[in-house]
Chains A and B, each alone.
Chain A
Amino acid sequence: MNNKTGTPLLEVDQVYKSFQVGSEGWLGNKALLVHAINGVSITIYKGESFCLVGESGCGKSTLARTVMGLEQPTSGTISYEDQRIDHLEGEKRLPFRRKMQMIFQNPYASLNPRMTVNQTLEEPLRFHRPELNAKDLRDKVVEVMESVGNNPDWGERFPHEFSGGQRQRISIARALMVDPEFVVADEPISALDVSIQAQVLNVMMEAQEKHDLTYLFITHDLSVVEHFGSRVGVMYLGALCELADTRTLFSNPRHPYTQGLLAAIPRMDGSELSHTKMTGEVPTAMDLPPGCVFHTRCPLAKDKCKMEIPELRDVDGRQVACHFVEETA
């Protein structure tokens, strides 16, 4: 897993995304907006496992969906191999749909209950590679099913006949059917039991080696990030706070939010329950605080934080968006 030295595969540049949830004012002409993503820039390099972490509502899933083209960014650009893709539609987007695949959180909802495993797996291939004949299709299904540790004989069965872990392996297989280069996984193991989480993570790591995949892995579980990720982006209220190599981030977090988040992970080493330094609640994304979005909960917040939005800047081999990062060492 190489990082900054590699070739950029996906570039997210100053992306903003807001959703209108209603209107107010006389004649209802003032839109009420949820600001889900506020100026996020990320470069993902070939072959890495980039993890996005954050708590619910921080915009990590919206970013994943925007990257996949399931949402249009309000402004900013997304490029794949130096080609801008965020405004592409229909046929023009088609080649990128094959290269970019997605795995969803809930394997109970993401598999069509009325399609057999074979139908589910063959469908993307029939669509993207119509030249294949029935035998090629079947061979490919068997190959992919075996590569994720599934029994190819499951083909004629329906999703309800499988456990959560088996279903998630089927949805991983579906994503791998079209030989993608880039896979977005949105909380792929959150709905699974501990012993099953390990199985699915192993399958994902093996698939990465075998098929030379690049991952964008969305999760709220920091211990999974520590294990799986090569680089990590920490999000809070639609903005990136810290961007670093996994090892750098976990050994020495610098943004006050990252520090609080890491301190909150329950540990099994017999240590006492640590109290987080953060206070209060996450503000709503409809009414963002001015300046640094984290200042309402930050133990270091000063006047400057209430006025000026901090930019991501290079500090000690990682990027941090904090005015007073020098004080957090």
Chain B
Amino acid sequence: MALLEVRDLEVDFPLGRTTLQAIHGVSFDLDRGERLGIVGESGAGKSVAAFSILNLIAKPGRISGGNVVFDGNDLAHISTAEMQHIRGNRISMIFQDPMMTLNPVLTIGTQMVECLHAHMKISDADAKRIAIEKLREVKIPSPEERFDNYPHQLSGGMRQRVVIATALVTNPAIIIADEPTTALDVTIQAEILALMLDLCQNHGVALMLITHDLAVVSQVTQRIVVMYAGRVVEQGPTQDIIADARHPYTRGLIKALPQQNKPGARLNQIRGSMPTLDDIPKGCSFNPRCDFADVLCSEQEPVLRDLGTHKVACHHAESIVEQLGDGGGDE
């Protein structure tokens, strides 16, 4: 059994007379020590899906169906007290902007110790020792001195390291990282990604990396889940999907990257933009933007099907590959 099993997750936001469904039957597994990427553009529902695992969706959002099974408990149906025991303890989160995550008026040491006290009975001295050890693990130079620093005294990359160290103090089984490097410069991003990869490989922490950046997921994760308009459109081993994506949306995303095009040539764009939740097209939600769409696509919603190495939700997954010959990102 996988460490975390998300099954047919449904999340909706009741708004007056209408109800907007943000997540539509999303299922995936996360194994011990595995690195999973959740990829999609803004509005795809990737953050809502991850937040709902820890029941962090803002009201009036609610899980309206499905299960989130972690260690034998269904997180979708447990009490707040039970959830508080898991959240930040067994499953930690890292957010995009470290300056928003850290409290500006408390030293980083205070914040790390506070997190330890919230989850275990421990003396101040022991808590401090653990915090400094974690700061050293994330390669912060002279952690004893940094322990007494305020967030503003650290650079952006350092702050994100502190956030990661704080997420690690309770030795969680899973870290959910929501765009952890989007606010950082490329050289700092490379350092933080290397650090996260190292932590997963050497400490057996499972990572769920939520990002819009396909290049980042391709370097860090083993498997990816591609989301579009609240649904999973494709999932499978990372390198298989990057090299041989079957869903027209995934293919479009990969081919739109400047890296995948000849310098100076017109980029392969996907026309239109992601639909809003109150205006999801009938049938396949991608059909108005898809080059392969036909009558079937505008009437019937495709289900996620197993196609050997990966799963795809497209009526024409097989024929698309034939039509394009040997498809891949490197055309």
Contact = CB atoms under 8 A, between A and B. Distances in A.
Interface of A: 1, 55-56, 163, 165-166, 193-199, 201-202, 205, 220, 222-224, 226-228, 246-247, 260-261, 263-276, 278, 281-282
B259 to A, nearest CB: 5
B263 A246 contact: yes
Q: Which of A261, A263, A269 has the most CB of B within 10 A?
A: A269
Contact of A56 (B185, B252, B263): B185
Contacts of B330: 269
B110 interface: no
B242 interface: yes
Interface string B169-190: 0000000000000000111111
Given A278-B187, A281-B155, A282-B155, A196 B259 contact: no
A286 B293 CA distance: 57
Given A227-B267, A268-B254, 6 more contacts: A55-B187, A196-B41, A205-B264, A227-B258, A228-B258, A261-B186
Nearest to B258: A227
A264 B190 contact: yes
A265 B267 contact: no
Given A195-B256, A198-B270, A273-B219, A268 B185 contact: no
The 7 A-B pairs with the shortest beta carbon distances in the complex, nearest first, are: A227-B258, A266-B215, A55-B185, A264-B190, A198-B256, A193-B41, A198-B267
B216 A266 contact: yes
Contacts of B271: 199
A266 B256 contact: no
Given A226-B258, A266-B216, A282-B155, A220 B264 contact: no
Contacts of A275: 190-191, 194
Contacts of B193: 266, 273
A194 B273 contact: no
Contacts of A201: 258, 267
B253 A195 contact: yes
B87 to A, nearest CB: 29
B220 A166 contact: no
Interface residues of B, number: 48
Interface in B137-156: 155-156
Given A227-B264, A261-B187, A268-B329, A273 B220 contact: yes
A268 B273 contact: no
27 contacts: A165-B273, A166-B273, A193-B274, A194-B41, A194-B253, A198-B256, A205-B266, A220-B185, A224-B258, A228-B264, A263-B190, A264-B189, A265-B186, A266-B193, A266-B219, A267-B215, A267-B259, A268-B215, A268-B242, A270-B218, A270-B239, A270-B243, A273-B190, A273-B197, A275-B191, A276-B187, A281-B158
Interface in B64-84: none
B263 A194 contact: no
A264 B187 contact: yes
A194 B158 contact: no
B259 A260 contact: no
A260 B329 CA distance: 26
Contact of B256 (A194, A263, A273): A194
B269 interface: yes
A95 B329 CA distance: 46
B269 A223 contact: no
A45 to B, nearest CB: 16
Contacts of A220: 185-186
B270 to A, nearest CB: 4
Given A1-B264, A223-B257, A268 B218 contact: yes
A101 to B, nearest CB: 22
B261 interface: yes
A247 B187 contact: no
Contacts of B219: 266-268, 271-273
B42 interface: yes
B187 A195 contact: no
B49 to A, nearest CB: 17
B237 to A, nearest CB: 11
Contacts of B281: none
Contacts of A246: 263
Interface string B199-235: 0000000000000111110111000000000000000
B268 interface: yes
A268 B257 contact: yes
Contacts of B267: 198, 201-202, 227
B157 interface: yes
Contacts of A56: 156, 185
A157 to B, nearest CB: 16
A269 B256 CA distance: 15
Nearest to A196: B273
A195 B39 CA distance: 13
B179 to A, nearest CB: 12
B208 to A, nearest CB: 18
B190 A276 contact: yes
